[in-house]
């Protein structure tokens, strides 16, 4: 008998809560590391901070991957598919990628000539303001790196598991317009190589779909799809802006 799976199913919601729980703990530990950056010694202390954050990404990324593997196993059991499969855990992101992300997040904290026309308003702000903004950016990029390890674990499992046919995106009710729009696309077959597009701070999940299963959009994703088709789809090149406006006015 065929089973159904949804972006708002019990498993998807459990996985979302698990990943958000990791994000809360990750943010807590990130804020503790903020003390490593000493404003009077940034040339020496920012690299030390980056190294500490890199270790944090590895620790939490592995936890994210393990939680994703448990989720995949549970979804496989719920789908009642046959055969054994071991979920391959995705490795943490390369050190150079983590460092590049953190360098980007902290690029505005360095002293610049306020008279230089290339200096932005953000770079002219007081140092404490710049440090606070950098901290928020760093939390967002690190959250993405960690959550991507969990999302990537599910995607890799779908690609390798002969009983999986594809995956779908699960976006929370408070997700941005970009994520809501992608969630309306439903299941993507495993042969689709476009990948899972996520932004900094994105909490979207990846829902595996197995042979014999039917994927169903949740009620809220169906409503997003209706808004898109009615207010945005007929306007190529302006669809995301119109979809965002439709959500604000009718969502």
Residue 208 has pLDDT above 70, yes or no: yes
Residue 1 has pLDDT above 60, yes or no: no
pLDDT of residue 198: 87
pLDDT band at 174 (very low <50, low <70, confident <90, very high): confident
Q: Which tokens hold the place of 22?
A: 């990791």
Tokens 């903020």 found at: 34
pLDDT band at 195 (very low <50, low <70, confident <90, very high): low
CA 136 to chain centre: 16
pLDDT band at 120 (very low <50, low <70, confident <90, very high): very high
Residue 135 has pLDDT above 70, yes or no: yes
**Concatenated DSSP letters of 83-151:** S---PPPPPPPPHHHHHHHHHHHTGGGS---TTSTT--HHHHS-HHHHHHHHHHHHHHHHHHHHHHHHH
pLDDT of residue 2: 66
CB 204 within 8 A of CB 175: yes
3-state helix, strand, coil in the chain (%, to 5): 60, 10, 30
Question: What average pLDDT does the segment 173-194 reach?
Answer: 84
CB 183 within 8 A of CB 170: yes
pLDDT digit string, tens, across residues 26-56 = 999 999 999 999 999 999 999 999 999 999 9
What percent of the chain stands above pLDDT 90?
Answer: 86
Nearest to 151 by CA among 24, 43, 23, 5: 23
pLDDT digit string, tens, across residues 86-101 = 999 999 999 999 999 9
**Higher per-residue confidence, 247 vs 192:** 247
Please give the mean pLDDT across all residues of the chain.
93
Q: CA–CA separation, 203 vs 19, rounded Å?
A: 8
Strands 187-189 and 164-170, bridge-based pairing: antiparallel
Length of the chain (residues): 251
């Amino acid at each position: 008998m065929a089973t159904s799976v949804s972006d708002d199913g019990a498993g998807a919601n459990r996985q979302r809560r698990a990943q958000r729980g990791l994000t809360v703990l990750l943010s807590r530990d990130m804020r503790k590391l903020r003390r490593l950056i000493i404003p009077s010694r940034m040339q020496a202390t920012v690299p030390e901070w980056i190294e500490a954050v890199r270790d944090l990404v590895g620790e939490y990324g592995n936890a994210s991957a393990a939680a994703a593997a448990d989720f995949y196993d549970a979804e496989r059991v719920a789908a009642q598919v046959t055969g054994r499969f071991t979920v391959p855990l995705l490795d943490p992101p390369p050190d150079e990628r983590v460092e590049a992300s953190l360098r980007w997040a902290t690029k505005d904290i360095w002293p610049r000539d306020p008279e230089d026309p290339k200096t932005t308003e953000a770079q002219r702000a007081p140092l404490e303001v710049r440090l606070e903004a950098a901290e928020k950016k760093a939390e967002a990029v690190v959250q993405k790196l960690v959550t991507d390890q969990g999302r990537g674990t599910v995607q890799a499992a779908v690609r390798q598991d002969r009983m999986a046919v594809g995956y779908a995106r699960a976006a929370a009710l408070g997700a941005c317009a970009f994520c809501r729009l992608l969630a309306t696309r439903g299941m993507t077959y495993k042969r689709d190589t476009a990948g899972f597009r996520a932004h900094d701070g994105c909490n979207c999940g990846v829902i595996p779909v197995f042979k014999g299963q039917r994927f169903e959009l949740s009620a809220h994703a169906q409503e997003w799809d209706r808004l898109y088709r009615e207010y945005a789809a007929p306007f190529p090149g302006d669809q995301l802006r119109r979809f965002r406006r439709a959500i604000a006015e009718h969502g």
